[in-house]
Amino acid sequence: MPEPLPCPTKPDLNRPEVRAAFSRYWRSNVRIMLVLLSIWAFVGLGCGVLWADWLNALTIGGKPVRFGGFPLGFWFAQQGSIAVFVVLILIYAVLLNRLDQRHHREIEQLRESLKG
């Protein structure tokens, strides 16, 4: 895992360039959260509740689709949404680590350019 970038002093929030960088950071963060929460809602509510009967009746080659021996809709309602949620937490952590690193580099570049 890469080392965190040092941040010896707080950036000057009165500078428009710094405010713009923070605004971009939060927009990206909120976008990531909305996408991941939408996926979780689709899986948890959609597959586990709204379309569970349809998923239970789903067949491939004349055989019902089962996951772990259980009908697909039942599996999503009981286990699938939880498993997807855990995976989405891991994805969120990785994406936010990357976003934080990019943001720290941007702030450091702004700090250097404003010094010069």
pLDDT tens digit sequence for 30-89: 999 999 999 999 988 888 888 888 888 888 888 888 888 888 888 878 888 889 999 999
Please name the residue that has the structure tokens 């580099």: 105
- DSSP-assigned letter for residue 82: H
- DSSP-assigned letter for residue 42: I
- Window from 9-18, 69-78, 104-113 with minimum mean pLDDT: 9-18
pLDDT confidence of 15, banded at 50, 70, 90?
Answer: confident
Burial of 26 (0-12, 13-18, 19+ CB in 10 A): exposed
First and final C-alpha spacing in the chain: 31
pLDDT at residue 65 in the model: 86
pLDDT at residue 7 in the model: 55
Q: Are 59 and 65 in contact (CB under 8 A)?
A: yes
pLDDT at residue 116 in the model: 63
Residue 8 has pLDDT above 70, yes or no: no
* pTM of the shown model: 0.74
